[in-house]
Amino acid sequence: MAKAIAGEIDKVASELSSHADANLRDIGTRLNEAVSAARTAVDWVVPTYGANTRAAHAGAVPYLELWGLVAGGWQMGRAALFAARHLAQGTGDARFMTAKIQTARFYADCLLPRATSLARTITEGSDSVLAVATEQF
């Protein structure tokens, strides 16, 4: 299911990346990077869960954070495309539509880059998490 959702995100990222507006292209670039990070995490979690369930569970919270960020970026990207269409057509409230694009750009610039570090936490952090004994907490 995660790979199917990533495919849907790819479609939006691709549309953004090929847009005439530089802001939308940049949003698309960041969304591509974030969904790539999510794929990296999925590609690690699925086989690891079968081989070492505890290691997969150690990355559960960052995994949920990662998908929350990526899904948020996906929806912000969709909103930016919607707003850009309305601006191009001269329909809707131009200030509101411009604000949607600016908000999506903020999300892409300031939040989506966290996806890469979360993927690294998921794929590389389990050993240090599991090294601490339960009674040490």
Q: What is the pLDDT of residue 133?
A: 83
What pLDDT score was predicted for residue 97? 98
Query: Which burial class, exposed, middle or buried, applies to 127 when counting CB atoms under 10 A from its CB (0-12, 13-18, 19+)?
Result: exposed
pLDDT tens readout for residues 54-72 = 999 999 999 999 999 999 9
In this prediction, residue 23 carries a pLDDT of: 97
Tokens of 82: 């919607």
For 32, 49, 118, the CA distances from 44, given in Å and listed in that order, are 19, 9, 13
Per-residue pLDDT tens digits for 7-51: 999 999 999 999 999 999 999 999 999 999 999 999 999 999 999
Q: Residue 90 carries which DSSP code? A: T
Residue 106 reports pLDDT greater than 80: yes
Domain range summary for the chain, segments of one domain joined by +: 2-127
Counting every residue written for the chain, the total comes to 137
Cα separation, 11 vs 52, in Å, equals 33
97 within 8 A of 83, measured Cβ to Cβ: yes
Token output for 53 = 């369930």
3-state SS class at 52: coil
Query: Above 80 in pLDDT, residue 137?
Result: no
Residue whose tokens read 């930016």: 80
Percent share of the chain, pLDDT over 70: 100
